[in-house]
Amino acid sequence: MNTDSWIEKQEIASKISAFAWRDQCRWTELRALFAEQATISVSWYSGSIEGFIAASTNMASAEKAQTKHWIGVPRISVCGESALAETDIAILNRSSVGPLEVDVTSYARFFDRLVRDTLGGWKILSRVAIYEKDRIDPLGPSVLFWLINGFAPYHKYPRELKHLAYGLVRKGFKLAPDFVTSGSIQERKLKSDALVWLGKGAMLP
């Protein structure tokens, strides 16, 4: 095994997993993970990392979302000063359906482009969340949950994130216009463009 490559992948993996700083409102540490002109696209936001952190700060201060990110082991491809990584994640969100509190679990992947900065470290240049499926569960046994849940308008949202999207909209957030779902044309284009960016001879993670 190439030791340098292994060390690079370990550093990249640590940067990806450190996104959990967001759940603890550690905004300075979160910003340090991303390149100067970095962008991020998730279900409720698409734009610069500065805008994302500002919106996340407002979300946390208003106590509009209780969110926890479980972040898996990334699959990483390095090519010179650039890299791609794809990581399985679970987004654990406290939400509500009518008067009932519920937990929504969204299964997704982070697809990241990374670059080496002038000091030789790795930074995330762009991050796109790819949504696969989600589920909803009551906080405790509840007959009322099944009655209310049956009338919730989940059909208005893509099936890959219908419970997550419904909860976000109920809390006053707008869905980003360009979020990506698993197996979609958008995902194929995202990865095709990333492969060209990384280098035609490279393998996708």
Contact 176, 45 (CB under 8 A): yes
Contacts of 76 (CB under 8 A, 6+ apart): 9, 12, 13, 83, 84, 85, 205
pLDDT in tens, the chain (205 residues): 455 588 899 999 999 999 999 999 999 999 999 999 999 999 999 999 999 999 999 988 876 667 899 999 999 999 989 999 999 999 999 888 878 889 999 999 999 999 998 877 999 999 999 999 999 999 888 888 888 888 889 999 999 999 999 989 988 899 999 999 999 999 999 999 999 999 855 556 6
d(CA 172, CA 44) in angstroms, rounded, equals: 10
pTM to 2 decimal places: 0.91
Domain boundaries in the chain?
3-187
12, with CB counted inside 10 A (0-12, 13-18, 19+), is buried
Beta carbons within 8 Å of 141's beta carbon, 6+ residues apart: none
CATH code of the domain occupying 3-187: 3.10.450.50
Cα dist from 58 to 5, 54, 61, whole Å: 39, 6, 5
